[in-house]
């Protein structure tokens, strides 16, 4: 993909934009998070960029080295920054993207502070284009010195590709990180379909909801979770992942994809339970003061003081504009209690019967009746309350109404619908029905149902969601997990 380079003039124009936007929309630039922003726009670049990559890697390495040298009690230490993630990070719900954006902004401000360089911007790792770890973080030494960006616990060595790493689970990384999947993800119209769903049952903005489980949509469930599991070692566990400096490069890329999604004209969620939520004192500013960050203050990267090298300025993702957009609506079409136990290398079938209504509809089959009438709508399968097995080194591929799924069924089979792994579940500490770390997944199955229909396969009465878990160095006992229920839902957006 060609990088868009801006002339100095364009850069100046952009520098002026956030204030113009803020004035136009009446938003205050004095919000707490904005205090971290400086007056020049920091440009986050690809760490492998042939022109800028080497310098930004040197700067990031230096910042991490300084932070690693500080006492753990110092809010600017690498360890203290890690503790923020352990204590507050939401996963598996709609706070995933905004929280990690705020985390990066606060971390980046501290890097800039210790470097005494206000222009410092975090680099990103674009795993769609670059399948191995960026050499700047992948190699144990740099110019004969220990490399502060290296982490010795990783499964991925400097020449291992994500493709090779995910092959351990029979997961095809092309279906996770490849251009076609990223395009499908960017094409989702709904914020929740893109960036994970509202916590189940959420009815106010009290802080207990921050880490309650919603459902993981494609961006989090696939490239996010599988990059953690693919790099593995510290990166593979939610509680240790920020110990690996590649964590911040990975999240920068996810944040870039959110910016790209907005730049392509998609609106953030208009629900005040989302944009009106505040992350209370989760982060520190550069003087060590805790700061509050409201979700709606995170929509415009320019007002936060940064942009990405290859993302055009957003088509305004302000909450005011979003309020006018229709609310996302997930309407349940059919549900089934599963209470199923899944085992490694074995297909677990989770059938959901769908009444096809009239005899005429029944004659057309389930795929025809379930596929949305409007092309704006999508059909989802929700796989709910999936318990976390005692070892998480497992990839689970999901198929729909396949006549006979085996561990070797290829991922380019028309019945393939996506994959999930076990990075982090509900972290609220509240024990759910299937253990406190249970997590739920949302898979857009519209294209799969359409492929089945086009193949001429008639599906009567039920949609069968099939799981195929494959572990790496996981015993059959360690690989068991349970699934609470399955829903088929239609999303209108
Ligand atoms: Cu909060 Cu990728 O993790």
What is residue 314's predicted lDDT score, i.e. its pLDDT? 66
Q: What are phi and psi of 130, to 5 degrees?
A: -120, 105
From the CB of 89, is ligand 1 less than 6 Å away?
yes
What number does the ligand 1 atom closest to the CA of 85 have? 1
Ligand 1 centroid–CA 333 distance in Å is: 32
* 139-197 per-position pLDDT tens digit: 999 999 999 999 999 999 999 999 999 999 999 999 999 999 999 999 999 999 999 99
What is residue 160's predicted lDDT score, i.e. its pLDDT? 96
Residue nearest ligand 1's atom 3 by CA: 238
pLDDT at 218 over 90: yes
What is residue 493's predicted lDDT score, i.e. its pLDDT? 77
From the CB of 85, is ligand 1 less than 6 Å away?
yes
What is residue 381's predicted lDDT score, i.e. its pLDDT? 98
Ligand 1 centroid–CA 251 distance in Å is: 7
- Confidence band, pLDDT 50/70/90 cuts, at residue 460: confident
Ligand 1 centroid–CA 173 distance in Å is: 19
What number does the ligand 1 atom closest to the CA of 247 have? 2
- Confidence band, pLDDT 50/70/90 cuts, at residue 28: very low
From the CB of 228, is ligand 1 less than 6 Å away?
yes
Average pLDDT over the chain, rounded to an integer: 88
Ligand 1 centroid–CA 212 distance in Å is: 15
Ligand 1 centroid–CA 157 distance in Å is: 21
From the CB of 91, is ligand 1 less than 6 Å away?
yes
* 58-76 per-position pLDDT tens digit: 999 999 999 999 999 999 9
What number does the ligand 1 atom closest to the CA of 251 have? 2
pLDDT at 443 over 60: yes
Ligand 1 centroid–CA 448 distance in Å is: 28
Asked if 304 contacts 107 with a C-beta cutoff of 8 angstroms, the reply is: no
Higher pLDDT residue, 218 or 23? Answer: 218
What is residue 23's predicted lDDT score, i.e. its pLDDT? 37
From the CB of 224, is ligand 1 less than 6 Å away?
yes
pLDDT at 21 over 50: no
From the CB of 282, is ligand 1 less than 6 Å away?
no
From the CB of 260, is ligand 1 less than 6 Å away?
no
What number does the ligand 1 atom closest to the CA of 89 have? 1
- Confidence band, pLDDT 50/70/90 cuts, at residue 15: very low
* 118-142 per-position pLDDT tens digit: 999 999 999 999 999 999 999 999 9
What is residue 262's predicted lDDT score, i.e. its pLDDT? 95
* 228-276 per-position pLDDT tens digit: 999 999 999 999 999 999 999 999 999 999 999 999 999 999 999 999 9
How many percent of the chain have pLDDT more than 70?
86
pLDDT at 13 over 60: no
Ligand 1 centroid–CA 80 distance in Å is: 16
Range name among 89-93, 291-295, 354-358, 400-404 with the lowest pLDDT average = 354-358
Tell how far CA 233 is from the center of its chain.
19
From the CB of 106, is ligand 1 less than 6 Å away?
no
What number does the ligand 1 atom closest to the CA of 254 have? 2
What is residue 424's predicted lDDT score, i.e. its pLDDT? 74
Asked if 53 contacts 45 with a C-beta cutoff of 8 angstroms, the reply is: yes
Span 346-372, mean pLDDT? 83
Span 24-34, mean pLDDT? 45
What number does the ligand 1 atom closest to the CA of 224 have? 2
Ligand 1 centroid–CA 108 distance in Å is: 16
Ligand 1 centroid–CA 238 distance in Å is: 6
* 277-292 per-position pLDDT tens digit: 999 999 999 999 999 9
- Confidence band, pLDDT 50/70/90 cuts, at residue 35: low
From the CB of 154, is ligand 1 less than 6 Å away?
no
Cα–Cα distances in angstroms (integers) from residue 290 to residues 23, 86, 97, 232, 305, in the given order: 27, 16, 20, 31, 19
- Confidence band, pLDDT 50/70/90 cuts, at residue 2: very low
Rounded Cα distance, 7 and 160, in Å: 37
Residue nearest ligand 1's atom 1 by CA: 89
What number does the ligand 1 atom closest to the CA of 91 have? 1
Ligand 1 centroid–CA 467 distance in Å is: 24
């Amino acid at each position: 993909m060609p990088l868009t380079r801006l002339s100095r003039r364009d850069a100046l124009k952009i520098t002026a934009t956030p204030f113009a936007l803020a004035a136009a929309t009446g938003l205050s630039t004095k919000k707490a998070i904005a205090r971290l922003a400086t007056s020049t726009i920091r440009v986050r670049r690809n760490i492998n960029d042939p022109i800028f990559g080497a310098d930004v890697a040197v700067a990031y390495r230096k910042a991490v080295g300084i932070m690693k040298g500080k006492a753990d009690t110092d809010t600017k230490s690498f360890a203290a920054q890690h503790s923020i993630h352990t204590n507050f990070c939401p996963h598996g719900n709609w706070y995933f993207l905004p929280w990690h954006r705020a985390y990066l902004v606060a971390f980046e401000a501290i890097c800039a502070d210790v470097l005494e360089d206000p222009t410092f911007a975090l680099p990103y790792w674009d795993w769609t284009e670059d399948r191995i770890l960026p050499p700047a973080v992948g190699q144990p030494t740099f110019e004969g010195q220990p490399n502060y960006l290296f982490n010795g616990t990783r499964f991925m060595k400097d020449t291992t590709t994500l493709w090779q790493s995910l092959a351990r689970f029979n997961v095809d990384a092309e279906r996770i990180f490849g251009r076609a999947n990223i395009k499908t993800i960017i094409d989702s119209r709904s914020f929740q379909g893109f960036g994970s769903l509202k916590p189940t049952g959420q009815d106010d903005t009290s802080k207990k909801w921050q880490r309650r489980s919603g459902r993981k949509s494609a961006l989090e469930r696939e490239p996010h979770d599988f990059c953690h599991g693919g790099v593995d070692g510290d990166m593979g566990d939610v509680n240790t992942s920020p110990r690996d400096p590649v964590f911040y490069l990975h999240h920068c890329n996810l944040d870039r994809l959110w910016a790209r999604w907005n730049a392509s004209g998609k609106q953030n969620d208009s629900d005040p339970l989302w944009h009106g939520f505040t992350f209370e004192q989760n982060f520190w500013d550069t003087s060590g003061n805790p700061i509050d960050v409201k979700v709606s203050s995170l929509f415009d990267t320019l007002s936060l003081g940064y942009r990405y090298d290859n993302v055009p300025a957003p088509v305004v993702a302000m909450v005011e504009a979003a309020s006018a957009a229709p609310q996302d609506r997930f309407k349940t079409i059919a549900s089934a209690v599963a209470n199923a136990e899944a085992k490694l290398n074995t297909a677990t079938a989770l059938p959901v019967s769908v009444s096809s209504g009239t005899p005429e509809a029944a004659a057309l089959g389930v795929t025809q009746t379930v596929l949305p009438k409007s092309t704006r709508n999508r059909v989802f399968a929700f796989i709910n309350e999936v318990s976390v097995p005692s070892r998480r080194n497992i990839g689970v591929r999901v198929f729909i109404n396949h006549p006979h799924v085996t561990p070797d069924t290829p991922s380019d089979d028309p019945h393939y619908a996506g994959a999930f792994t076990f990075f982090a579940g509900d972290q609220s500490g509240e024990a759910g029905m299937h253990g406190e770390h249970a997590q739920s997944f949302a898979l857009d199955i519209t294209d799969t149902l359409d492929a089945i229909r086009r193949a001429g396969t008639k599906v009567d009465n039920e949609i069968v969601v099939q799981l195929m878990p494959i572990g790496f160095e996981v015993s059959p006992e360690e690989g068991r997990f349970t699934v609470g229920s399955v829903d088929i839902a239609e999303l209108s957006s």
